[in-house]
Amino acid sequence: MRWLGPSFVLALVLLVLPAKAQSVQQQGGCIIGHLRNTARPVSPDIDNVCASTPNAAMPGGKSFQEYYAWVMPFLMTSFDNAERAHCGVPGCATGGAHVRLVLYYEGRVDVAVKRDEITIAIAAGAIDFVEAITVMMFQDMKDDPDRSATNGLRQWLDGLSTEGGQACRLRTPLKKFTLDLKENFALIRAAAAGIYTFIFAHELSHVRAGTACGIDPAKGALAVETACDKIAFAKVTEYGVGLPSQIVAWFVSVHHYERLAGPMLAPAGMNLETSAPARDWTARARSISNQWLQACNGSSKPPTCSSGWRELQQYGDDLIGIDLPEPCSK
């Protein structure tokens, strides 16, 4: 697969200029980004959880809030772009609601969606995961016509499958910045923002199209979540901020990671996938990939159908085709 080139880098960097007139607050063990109707007082639930969580110590003697200080502007801009993609301008979907994005290190933070308040909580580990997937995917694209890229995503997924059935241990992907590019950090973070934008667009689909995203909720959680994905994908790709192969790569990677670590992640006596059918991330990736193919074979060609799209779409299908690992053994 060939490298995407500098024009791709430039386009992405322009999309992640920091948001204006919004505030970032450090609160105990959290970083909180306030968007939209920021004059509205917010209920103290999340603030209380964050205030009682210590600010964790990170590598290099940095605090959690120093270490992850760069994240919140990317998340806020991604949320803005998700809302622009849905209906044109920030605020068009969320109305007068106060929107809060909460980045936390660890512990439990409940997500609250009330009529006048939307809170989306994200663990720092999820940010690390998205960045690592992005780095590994670029590694594949850079020099892996024959699956030979060490540190690439396909090799990581192949490696996970060999751990199936073995003793459980965390197999978090690591960021390996080995790409030979000056724009390294800007590239990775801008590209990762494409995944955050899709995630927020998915949440806004629930807000705008109804909780079940326009389908009969009796069809089940996987069908509902797939319907929300479908709306979100169409919106972000028509707007030009969605990166389909990355969304596919992220879904597939989450599934492999969760399948292997399932016995560690699920509450005692529960199976992660059977108790939460919407976590069939591979099925959701396949749906996205098919939607992409149909859009590019149809008459309205969104920006994601520019030259080279078929190669990227096949890369995603290749990831989808990798066998899931067996769960680890506790």
Helix boundaries (H) for the chain: 6-15, 45-51, 64-67, 71-87, 124-143, 153-161, 184-209, 221-239, 244-265, 272-275, 281-297, 309-320
Neighbours of 204 (CB within 10 A): 24
Rank residues 131 and 225 by Cβ distance to Zn ion and give the closer one: 225
- Dist CA 289 CA 315 (whole Å): 10
Cβ 134 to Zn ion, closest distance in Å? 22
- CA distances to 33, 60, 113, 271, 273 from 327, rounded to whole Å, are 36, 34, 33, 10, 11
Cβ 202 to Zn ion, closest distance in Å? 5
Q: Which of 326, 1, 310, 309 is nearest to 154 (CA)?
A: 1
Rank residues 189 and 208 by Cβ distance to Zn ion and give the closer one: 208
Cβ 173 to Zn ion, closest distance in Å? 24
Rank residues 115 and 330 by Cβ distance to Zn ion and give the closer one: 115
Cβ 235 to Zn ion, closest distance in Å? 14
- Which residues, 230 to 289, sit near Zn ion by CB under 5 A? none
Q: Is 36 helix (H, G, I), strand (E, B) or coil?
A: strand
Kindly determine how many residues on this chain lie close enough to bind Zn ion according to the rule CB under 5 A: 2
Q: Which of 120, 157, 132 is nearest to 252 (CA)?
A: 157
Instruction: Enumerate the β-bridge partners of residue 121.
Output: 102
Rank residues 228 and 254 by Cβ distance to Zn ion and give the closer one: 228
- Which residues, 174 to 233, sit near Zn ion by CB under 5 A? 225, 228
Cβ 123 to Zn ion, closest distance in Å? 17
Cβ 223 to Zn ion, closest distance in Å? 11
Rank residues 50 and 224 by Cβ distance to Zn ion and give the closer one: 224
* Residue 249 CB contacts under 8 Å (≥ 6 apart), including other chains: 133, 137, 153, 316, 319
Rank residues 225 and 258 by Cβ distance to Zn ion and give the closer one: 225
- Which residues, 33 to 92, sit near Zn ion by CB under 5 A? none
CA 209 to chain CA centroid, nearest Å: 21
Binding footprint of Zn ion on the chain (CB under 5 A)? 225, 228
